[in-house]
Structure 1
Amino acid sequence: MHPIVKPLGILLLITLLLSGLTSISTNSPGLAPDPTDDRHESNYSEWEDAFVISKDGDVVVKRSSGSHKSKKSIDEPTSPVTADPVLPVADFIANVTGGPVPLTVEFTDLSSNSTSWSWDVDNDGTADYFTQTAFHTYNSTGLYSVNLTSSNINGTDSELKINYINVTSVSSPVTADPVLPVADFIANVTGGPVPLTVEFTDLSSNSTSWSWDVDNDGTADYFTQTAFHTYNSTGLYSVNLTSSNINGTDSELKINYINVTSVSSPVTADPVLPVADFIANVTGGPVPLTVEFTDLSSNSTSWSWDVDNDGTADYFTQTAFHTYNSTGLYSVNLTSSNINGTDSELKINYINVTPLEIDLVASIDIEVYTEGEDADSPTGPFVQVGSDVEWVYYVENTGNVNLTIVVVSDNRSSVNSETINLDYNGVFEPGEVWIYNASGTVVEGQYVNLANVTAQYEDSYVYDEDLSHYLGISDIGGLKGMGYWKKPDNWPIDFNFITIGGITYTKEEAISNMRPPVYMPKDKTYSMFGQLVAAKLNYIVNSSSYTCAKDYVGVDFINDSDTWMENYGPVGNNVSGDSDAWQTSGEDLKDLLADYNKGKLCI
């Protein structure tokens, strides 16, 4: 020991002893403490063993372990075992990793267990920001490495991304390196019992499309930015995300990332499998046959119906409706499914679609028109004696079978055997109409004729007949019937045009239209046209009044008929006898014109 230190130590000991003299004297080992005075009870041990003088004269200062009322053990209670300290794990991402100068980048912290952050955005060793999220603008071109240091009370961790930010020149974008995607992702859970549903969240940068392979089997399972997948089997699953943009792709593979364990229950029940079954409301009938298939399966959540067992599913609803449009025997297969499996029920030749059975009916109808009128009862049309008269015979197959050997006859005239056939195939088919005609010279008085038709179906025959009438008249009060005016020589001299319904016709056109085409006998515009032409010519020749007495006082029926033709014509407009135009006014006007031309009015 240094010669100066030892005297200083002795001097220090003396000073300390003098400063604590009172305490030492009142609590000396040889003096019994006053049991009624506890003011200095604890001071005895306060300086005990406080100073030790070594054998070489050195002074050693030794602190007491604390105040004590008595000499008891200084062992403290054993502290509980503490967990390992939770250290931070640094991670981050940037909203963009490249672009022209100036480039502003947002850095987002992805660290875990962190309470403070230090960003070195150019990795120059100097921290630039201390917030959890940092914004920085790069004003110079170049590649920048970025370092994030995350900290908590237990320690620090750093994440350094080399050449992470690429700032290019704005003046030469063509030469700038393409901005490639950087794939990254995270899962909300990475383990759990089966079935395990996992949400995969994309953390990639510079990506515009995504492809998730959630079991790394080489087949993409999802193409959305965020993917949800349920693992229904236990095992370790590696997950691969491929992120893409216009410049390229990048993949992030996390090996054995998802751990799907068995259900924690020690006893696992057998999976509940579906049992397929069904029934049909009908299993047979004539074509077309509509069938309702009702599911009777148990434990099923989805259904697939193959209603003709051709290997292609036709319906995916629990109940299926199908119409069979062809005859035959049809096998039906139902496949029922749930999460645990599938089951099929095949019913062989279950549906029997038969031909449509109908009663075969042979039937025929004939209608004869005289001068365009279906005159079944007398008197029929008034026609001028000596003029031409025409009959048209409409024969219709009203049954549901083809007919042959059709014969049309008239007891008073010779029927032209040449038919006007709509399809010209020579087969008298159901619904078809064949048309015949005949002509003659009008004789005076009431005329009646009977038309007949006969046809054959296999070994049977069908028949029909129809009466027709006309009244042959001479000149009555100067009025002439419609048949008279069908001859061009009977028209007034130099009268070569006539206006009907606002349309002007030549004499030849008017006479032609007074004879309705044989294929349009039911077009009432021809009936109205012929009677109106005759009425107008009768008026011009005889100067008779348009208005007549006898239940029709004060009504100009010729002008009214002209207006009707203007509204519902022209001739050939195919106005039927059951139309509103004919029923409400046309038929009455035509009858008045016919009566006028017959001399029944205004005689």
Structure 2
Amino acid sequence: MNSLIKPVGSLALVVLLLSGLTSFSTNSPELVPEPTNDVPETNHSEWDNSTPETSEFNISVKEGDKEDPGIWVSPGDHKPKVIVEEPAPPVANFTAYPLSGVVPLNVTFNDSSSDAEEYSWDVDGDGLEDSNASDFVYRYDKEGIYNVSLIVTNKDGSHTKVVENCINVTANPSLSIVKLTDGYDVDDPSSYEVEVGSPIVWSYNISNKGDVPLTNIFVNDSVEGPVGVIAYLGVGEYNDSLNLSNTSVEGVYQNAVTASTTYDDVEVNSTDVSYYFGVNASIDIESSIGDPVSDVQIQCLVFEWTYNVTNNGNVDLTEVVVQDNSSSISIDRITVDADNILEPNESWVYSASATTEHGWNEVILANVTAYYNGTEKNFYAFDEVLFHYVGGT
């Protein structure tokens, strides 16, 4: 007797383990327009009494209707075994490596879910999909602690896995600035000397020593004021386009330059101090005769006077020489100084004498020279004095 198996309900996966099944077929509207108990022999599976090898079939079964009446089988002496599998929704799972590091941080995400067919990743915690691949690499360019979620789906459902504080990305923003004075990195006040009144040029070398790009870097000099702004400085880059200039002043000059910006509301800065020493190699000579434009009447054959030589600069002077334009005048230093160094504000006295004759009209131009032996070069000091005398009877 033929029998009709007509399952009721939704679509399910059915495995028929049939013994002795030689063929089976599905009725179609063309073959069986209306299912009845009298099914033609050509439209059902036939069974025999032999014991053939067992075969396994996966078939989809749905409720029969007029157009698709279902599947017809002839069981004979063997009964088909029907196994209905339960729905198998996916289970989300994943691995990530590394879980921490400094920006820019590349993290590899690998799916380890069960029965997943589709994927949706949010790895930066912004609620937006970052990838729909099963495995991928994501680059973190900003410091932070990130939640990671994976949603997997298949025909039977979906599942979400969320790992809070999964990825820890740190940043190390760092700046470096070097201030050059006339091209020299001067860290010692006495190591670079310039003559007072000469031009000075400062240049600034700003480098990004960290692992994140920096923007809007302000450069300011503690004495000279604002230097400029660097709009962008990438990792490992440097900028040496900024400079200032001025005229050197006397003595030790010290100023500090600072480069500063912020990264994620954290202040990033660097400071460098620079120096120079303004040399004032200066000397003064004065005559005891007095007003250099006055005529002095000399009433004796031997005329004597003095020169007073003073270091009115800020450095020690050596090789001090006093001379004049007349070969008839003898000059000798009266002041005794064992080290022969004319120090700042120190004075030496020189005696001078000349033999006169009646009617002599003499214009004396005396001068003094000296040197300061600097660390890099010598500085020259010079002064002169003019006076006039007339030989009497």
Same fold, TM-score > 0.5, yes or no: no
Q: TM-score, normalised by structure 2?
A: 0.34
> Which is richer in strand?
2
Q: Which has the higher contact order (CA 8 A, sep 6+)?
A: 2
Q: Between Structure 1 and Structure 2, whose CA radius of gyration is higher?
A: 1
